[in-house]
Amino acid sequence: MDLRFIVANRLEIKHFKVGSTIQSVKNKNEQKAKIIVNGIVHLYDQSMAGQRVYCGRLIVGNMFGVDKLFHALPTGILYVAETECEILDIDLNVIRDVMQISKPFAEKIRNETLMFTEQLTRTVLLQHQI
């Protein structure tokens, strides 16, 4: 079975202008992960009412939204385009399918998601202490 065929049939590229919201808490039911194909994305924490705290940036090749595979609770993270961006949407079911077929891929996705979540949590906690 050629995994490229499975993945290619279930992808969609979206374009975002500078300052536009790519993903936010409101999209918690969306079943897609995202890969940055072109551009830079800023991350903001919105968990405090009325506040938006800068938490970092993502660059070309970074993936986000995969954490929905491991926990259902939405984070208070807002993703905003810093530059014009092209974002590839991947159905989470495709990622689940590939994770079942490839143990190394599954382990890599779990480890990267865990590391990303831990770093984001540390950053948010530090920002709120300042």
Domains and CATH numbers, the chain: 3-129 (2.60.120.10)
Per-residue pLDDT of the chain (130 residues; tens, 9 = 90+): 445 555 555 567 889 999 998 875 455 566 788 888 899 999 888 776 667 888 888 888 888 887 777 765 456 788 899 999 998 888 888 888 888 888 888 888 888 887 877 777 777 777 667 6
Q: How many other C-beta atoms lie within 10 A of the C-beta of residue 35?
A: 19
Q: What is the pLDDT of residue 1?
A: 40
Residue among 112, 2, 21, 100 nearest 64 (CA) = 112
**Dist CA 82 CA 92 (whole Å):** 25
Q: Report the predicted TM-score, pTM, of the whole model to 2 decimal places.
A: 0.73
pLDDT in the model for residue 41: 94
For residues 87 and 114, what is the distance between their CA atoms, to the nearest angstrom? 22
Contacts of 79 (CB under 8 A, 6+ apart): 21, 22, 23, 24, 34, 41, 42, 43, 58, 64
Task: Identify the three-state secondary structure at position 105.
Answer: helix
In this prediction, residue 82 carries a pLDDT of 95
| Strand residue runs (E) in the chain | 11-16, 21-23, 32-38, 41-45, 53-58, 63-64, 77-81, 85-91
